[in-house]
Amino acid sequence: MKRIAFWVISMDNFAGSLKKTMGLLGLLIILGVLIISMGVWLRNAEASIFLIVLPWLLILSIAGLLTLTFLMIYAIMMLRIDRRVLPSLIKPVEVSLRVLYPFLTRVGKPLGYDKNLIRNAYAKVNNHLILSEDFRFMASDVMILTPHCLQKSTCGLRVTQNPELCQRCGKCNVDDLLFLVEKYGIKLAIATGGTLARRKIRELKPKAIVAVACERDLISGLQDVRGIPVLAVVNRRPEGPCINTEMDIEEVEKSIRHFLDHGENEE
């Protein structure tokens, strides 16, 4: 079980773990057959309606779980071989991601897996889904959302209220972000927390978001935001969490371009 769970959350051991996953699926199918047999037996035995319905509920639950698992496996396979997810499967995979994530974190914890590993996998699959779609948003509809900890801790300027207050000294990535804002005409919001981030989204009404944050905040944001495509960029934390964090500005720019014109606006 530990190895199977590891396969689901690890992007690097996909090929070697395929056999083990098939083993798990086989086990679930056998379980399904046993439950069906039990249902038939109970019906023949003229059991109460409750005892007849219960096995079928279990069967449906297992079938649902299997479908979601297959969808997740499919998305991870597409990610591994760098192929797009079929358009008709993007929404179902999104659902499977949302449903399976709490399950994976609960299974992963007692097995000793770092939550951030699971969150990272979540962000990668989410991004792959978004990258499987074509977008052509207006620049003013695209927003970068970053946490306050990106700002140099020694800088007293109130860039959360207005990023334009930045003096562009180059000591932190706020300077780079303003460069991207000028270059593409997109919006930028720097938030001190989840509540403010949600408020900025309500106020600025973006149609697409490039979110930069730690794994925990990213996943919480991804689960909160519905109906808006979000590309997640995990920040770097050279001095530990929540202070003087950094970002891969090239990844951020690539994400912006995907929303603007699907990367065809290369200079």
Residues in contact with ligand SF4 by the rule CB under 6 A:
151-152, 155, 157, 159, 166-172, 174-175
* Residue 18 or 169 having the CB closest to ligand SF4: 169
Nearer to ligand SF4, 83 or 171 (CB): 171
d(CA 96, CA 71): 7
CA 90 and chain centroid, separation: 13
Nearer to ligand SF4, 149 or 174 (CB): 174
Q: Residue 145 CB, nearest distance to ligand SF4 (Å)?
A: 16
Extended strands (E) in the chain: 142-147, 187-191, 208-213, 230-234
Q: How far is the CB of 200 from ligand SF4 (least distance, A)?
A: 17
Least CB distance to ligand SF4 at residue 172 (A): 3
Pick the closer one to ligand SF4 by CB: 175 or 261.
175
Of 159 and 209, the one with the shorter C-beta distance to ligand SF4 is: 159
Instruction: Give the length of the chain.
Output: 267
Establish how many alpha carbons lie within 13 A of residue 54's alpha carbon, considering only the half-sphere containing its beta carbon. Answer: 8
Q: Which long-range contacts (C-beta less than 8 Å, at least 24 apart) are formed by 34-40?
A: 35/59, 35/62
Exposed e or buried b for every residue in 220-242, given b needs 16+ CB within 10 A?
ebbeebeeebbbbbbbeeeeeee
For the chain, counts of helices (H) and of strands (E): 9, 4
The rounded distance, in Å, linking the Cα atoms of 96 and 165 is 42
Of 47 and 196, nearer to ligand SF4 (C-beta) is 196
